[in-house]
Structure 1
Amino acid sequence: MIKMAQLEDIRKMYFMEDLSIREISRRTGIHRDTISKYISMEESKPPKYKLTKERKHPVLGPYIPLIKQIIKEDKTRHRKQRHTGTKIFEILKSEGFTDGYNTVMDYLLRKEYRKQKEAFLPLEFELGTYAEVDWTEAYFYLKGKETKAHIFVMKLRGSGGFYVRAYPFEKQEAFFDGHIKCFEFMNGVPYKIAYDNLKTAVKKILEGSNREEQEQFISLRTHYLYESTFCRPAKGSDKGGVENAGKEAVRRFFVPYPEVDSFEELNEYLHKECVKLLEKNPKWEAEKAALRPLPAIRFDGARYKEAKVNRYSMVQFETNRYSVPTVYVGEKVTVRATANEVKILYKGAIIASHPRIYGRNQEHITLDHYLELLLQKSRALDNTKVYKPQTMAPIYEQYRRILNARSPKGNREFVRILMLHRDYPPALVTEAVETAMAYNVYGYDGVLNILGQLLVSNRPKMNPVSKDKLNNIPEVVVIPPDLSKYKILMSGGGQ
């Protein structure tokens, strides 16, 4: 490929000096075919170099099949959880690749179309003054099953630090819990927070920047004393900082999929990852110090709903049902639901507490709520779904079966044994049942007797009272009554 100055000389020699192509070739050393091509060009600039054969990759070549396999598998994954160039480079390094990051990126970029990116103005924020909130989605393995998580993200724009929490949904109680957990993690509140037009915060979009807000959202903002601002409809770039933070959180924390047994375990993992990331942020501690102090009392982010206890001693909330003690059948109660828990109140007092069910048309039953009813209907113990032996230590069901075989009232005796958990430590009751079975003792009275012995043997030893303290205790003399005065009553009365 010739340079522009050579092209200029060739065209001048041909068009202005009337030299032949052969003569120009002799003077310049450039092949006649090349000179002919450049003279016939309509535009006076050299053509770009074009590859006629695919460029070889002597170092990357052996790893190209692995790259293609990763890209192929990513097409079946969710868009936000595909491998980045950095991730692919790290995988190649672990496989023995010795060249640089740019070699990998050059190859990857040729497989993608260049997209025109929107331009933004550079922004700068004072520490502690401004934050952004958003939801994003990620997938993980919950007890081995691929599950969607809704990720609440809060980013402080002064330092660029962010904190995330995972929830099974984006309902209002999760929205509030995300704020509470982020504020408590940061140990402060920013002065202003930017939001999308979320239904949990906005009832109706009015003209311009005006919004009709949800009452509970106003309550949250009033409690923590911060200002809120909302993005223009369909303009997520108004809070691009938190959107980028959400993408970064998904790529850093969810590629590959984390494997956990609960949302609580997932949030513990996310907390540790956020802490590790923020330890590298030089402005994070300064931004935390600039935040508004937390209020003395935590905001109540629960959702309340009135309900009625049905004849199965259960209360329905959304599509799921939760048990309460049978004494409340037919009563009106209040359901208090947070992102993780459901509590049921009667006249202000908590009568039942359950973990929040995330699925649909499911039940959460507490055996203790039905024990009084089982005393009356003990024969139903074998068939009722309130008693699930697999949720208890195996010794209980073994003991119940033998007890039931020995006595027609075995189930009733067993229910009375279960009631001991209300007054004694569960581990001690279990030990008493194991001991009773070992000594061939079957029945409530026998288990209770053994439990009493275990309590005495496990009681901490008391130091004897010293003689000096005993000497200081005053002696109390009790004069016995004269019983002869009562003989008159036995003789029929008299003076």
Structure 2
Amino acid sequence: MKTKVELYAAIRRDARAEGLSIRKLADKYEVHRRTVRDALGSAWPSPRKKMLPRRSRLDPYKQVIDEILRADLDAPRKQRHTSQRIFDRLVAEHEMEGVSYSTLCEYVHDRRPKIRIEAGRAAPEVFISQSKRPGVEAEVDFGEVWVNLAGTMTVCYMFVFRMSYSGKAVHRVTASCGQEAFLEGHEHAFNVLGGLPTGQVRYDNLTSAVAQVLGFTRGRVENERWTAFRSHHGLEVFYCRPGLSGAHEKGGVEGEVGRFRRNHLVPVPVVATLAELNATIDEWDTVDDQRRIGSRAHTVSESFAIERPLLRPLPDDRFETGRVFHPHVNRHSLVCVRMNYYSVPVRLVGRKVRVLLHASELVIFDGKTEVARHERLIARGKPRLRLDHYLEILLRKPGALAGSTALEQARQLGTFTTVHDAWWAAVRKAHGEAEGTRALIEVLLLHRGMAHRHVVDGIATALSVGALTSDVVAIEARKAAHAETGMASATTSSPTGPVGQPAELPPLPSLTERRLAALPPDSRPLPSVAAYDQLLRFRPPATGQGDTP
């Protein structure tokens, strides 16, 4: 079917080439003679007349709605009319009938901004396109995301660092949006990008960087650790205006937060740890580098290849992003950090330790020695205990093991398995509650020097043959370790066995021998019997063979 423009062109061509009359042209193309006259008059069809607006049952009330909206201009922001309130007033005060709520909402949505413009309260917002130079500017923001973390729906925070020229973005999800996560996100982004932007990095007024906004100016009082961090890296910062207007000043990263969340975090990701999620996010970032932003001619990776050589090099030394605390260890062998409790070895009870708090974990030091490392808790008032920290005291108090919180958490994490439980039940039945539990604790001490899976294999083997001693578990665990590395089934020549013969295993020390080896060396002198030599002077002389002395 011809369009109207094509029809006009055909009519004009036949009239010009064949000299056909208006009647013959109308018969040929089966149109009205008025259409032929219009085509001969202009190559473009005349625009269709606009239809008069349809009458609506809302028409008698439109003036009243406009008056309400004008009055709202001077009302407090939180006490202005909603569409529902306007609808209720029209029904109650003007007896409105037959008007649907959706019809009224459409009218209010259309008229409210126009009334503001008519009153001079607002002007249409205009955006000015920006051209970015490679390697110069970047933008930073946090976004809220939900994660199914270890079976629990948890709100987390996604740090985003985006280069303005190429659109290259680095994402990292953390348990909090505190200063530790803010600084660690920067360090991760700098390492991925391989350098630093030479110009400004745009931020909103998050408390990790800004301690105080000075009125309506661009002046800011910065957080001291943030000032030290950006001084260490030589960052030039630009703080956007507060509120929605400031979001438009870093619209690239604002849009990137939503794009990444919609494309990669829907449906809600199911992970065991945040480290697992962040490893996957790094892979997604690599895939996203092959996309094109809008109508750009180059992909993100091609554009970043241009600005990568222009970035400033990273500093030689690393800035410590973790926050340092110095809590005391209470009598439960716990330290309190940010209203959560974490266990340390019982030998540290009553002492002060140093805690280095990161975005997703914390490390505890006794002096310069690391004594514990925990995944950071998100909810407040929760404990995180490690059973290994309490084994020494449980040797003296074996009855406390069965109902301990540390044991319950070990079961939840899977470090205390059903194999442990089965061996514990068997050894308690054979040796009694106290001695059986002490034997279990001796087995748990093996985890400190051997891989978890090897100890579990050793327990299972010992249980299968009815050997209920920790020494047998240790021997079987070492056999499992040697079998895994191939030492017990070597088929090539070796210093300890001929070709084709398995190499002999070195003798395995018993648990008693291992305990003695762990003791400090004995520096005492050897005993001497020289003092007893003086007794030889009183020995009676021999009388002869068979005589009694």
TM-score between the two structures when normalised by the length of structure 1: 0.68
1:198 lines up with 2:206 in the alignment: yes
Q: Which has the larger radius of gyration?
A: 2
Q: Matched residue of 1:369: which SS?
A: helix
Contact 2:150 2:270 in 1 (8 A): yes
Q: What secondary structure does 1:119 align onto?
A: coil
Query: What's the offset of the Cα at 1:370?
Result: 0.3
Pick from 449, 463, 466: which aligns with 2:495?
Answer: 463
Answering whether residue 253 of structure 2 is matched by residue 251 of structure 1, we say: no
Amino acid at match of 1:177: E
Residue 275 (structure 2) pairs with residue 264 (structure 1) = yes
- 1:213 aligns with 222
**381, 406, 426: which one pairs with 1:361?**
381
Instruction: Tell me the equivalent position of 2:345.
Output: 325
**Equivalent residue in structure 1 for 2:144, among 126, 137, 142:** 137
Shift of 1:145: 5.2
Q: Which amino acid aligns with 2:181?
A: A
Matches within 5 A, 1:70-469: 118-142=125-149, 146-191=153-198, 192-206=200-214, 208-234=217-243, 235-279=246-290, 280-281=299-300, 282-388=302-408, 390=411, 391=414, 392-408=416-432, 409-451=435-477, 459=487, 462-463=494-495
> Counterpart of 1:39?
none
How big is the shift at 1:449? 4.7
Provide the rounded CA distance (Å) in 1 between the counterparts of 2:452 and 2:304: 46
SS at match of 1:135: strand
Q: Percent identity?
A: 29
Is the 2:457–2:476 contact (alpha carbons within 8 Å) kept by the matching residues of 1?
no
Deviations 1:244-278 (A, max 9, x none): 22222223223444443432333233322222121
Whole-Å separation in 1 of the counterparts to 2:157 and 2:383:
23
Change in CA separation of 1:425 and 1:261 when aligned onto 2, cut-off 3 Å:
closer
Quote the offset at 1:367 in angstroms.
Answer: 0.8
Q: Give the Cα–Cα distance (whole angstroms) in 2 for the partners of residues 270 and 456 of structure 1.
A: 37
Q: Distance in 1 between matches of 2:180 and 2:374?
A: 16
Q: By how many angstroms is 1:49 displaced?
A: 2.9
Change (3 A) 1:142 1:429: closer
CA distance in 2, matches of 1:354, 1:51: 69
Task: Give secondary structure in 1 for the equivalent of 2:326.
Answer: strand
Q: Cα gap change, 1:145/1:377 in structure 2, threshold over 3 Å: closer, same or farther?
A: closer
* 2:134–2:306 CA contact under 8 A, matched in 1: yes
CA distance in structure 1 between the aligned counterparts of 2:222 and 2:474, rounded to whole angstroms: 59
- Secondary structure of residue in 1 paired with 2:161: strand
1:373 maps to amino acid: I
Q: Secondary structure at the match of 1:442?
A: coil
Alpha-carbon contact 2:395-2:441 (below 8 Å) kept: yes
Is the CA contact (8 Å cut-off) linking 2:134 and 2:307 kept in structure 1? yes
Residue matched to 1:71: none
The one-letter amino acid of 1:199's match is T
The residue type paired with residue 197 of structure 2 is: P
Q: Deviations over 1:443-492 (max 9, x none)?
A: 223334545666777746642699xxxxxxxxxxxxxxxxxx99988845
Which secondary structure state, in structure 2, belongs to the residue aligned with residue 311 of structure 1? coil
The 1:181/1:492 distance shift into structure 2, 3 A limit, reads farther
Q: Secondary structure at the match of 2:282?
A: helix
Give the Cα separation in 1 of the matches to 2:132 and 2:471: 72
Q: Which aligned pairs between 1:25-64 and structure 2 lie closer than 5 A?
A: 48-49=50-51
Stretches of structure 2 lacking an aligned partner (at least 5 in a row):
1-32, 36-46, 56-105, 114-122, 291-298, 499-529, 539-549
SS of structure 2 residue aligned to 1:244:
helix
For residue 298 of structure 1, report the CA deviation from its aligned partner. 3.1
- C-alpha separation in 1, matches of 2:447 and 2:280: 34
Distance 1:456 1:137, change over 3 A: closer
Cα distance, 1:454–1:169 mapped onto 2, change above 3 Å: closer
Aligned partner of 1:61 in structure 2 is none
- Tell me by how many angstroms 1:327 deviates: 0.5
Structure 1 residue runs without a partner (length 5+): 1-27, 31-44, 54-108, 467-484
Q: CA deviation at 1:189?
A: 1.0
In structure 1, C-alpha distance between the alignment counterparts of 2:393 and 2:134, rounded to whole Å: 61
Q: How far apart, in 2, do the equivalents of 1:140 and 1:416 lie? A: 39
Distance in 1 between residues matched to 2:110 and 2:266, nearest whole Å:
24
The one-letter code of the counterpart of 1:315 is V
- Work out the CA distance in 2 between the residues paired with 1:260 and 1:117: 45
Structure 2 Cα separation of the partners of residues 233 and 456 of structure 1: 63
Question: In the superposition, relative to structure 1, how do residues 435 and 490 fare at CA in structure 2: closer, same or farther (>3 Å)?
Answer: farther
Q: 1:301 to 1:51 in 2, by over 3 A?
A: same
Alpha-carbon distance, 1:29 to partner? 6.9
Q: What is the identity, as a one-letter code, of the residue corresponding to 1:206?
A: L
Q: Which has the higher contact order (CA 8 A, sep 6+)?
A: 1
1:395-417 residue CA offsets vs partner (Å, 9 max, x unmatched): 11101111011113111111111
Q: Structure 1: how far apart are the matches of 2:183 and 2:537? A: 81
Aligned length in residues: 377
Q: Which amino acid aligns with 1:269?
A: T
Across the aligned residues of Structure 1 and Structure 2, the Cα RMSD in angstroms comes to: 3.4
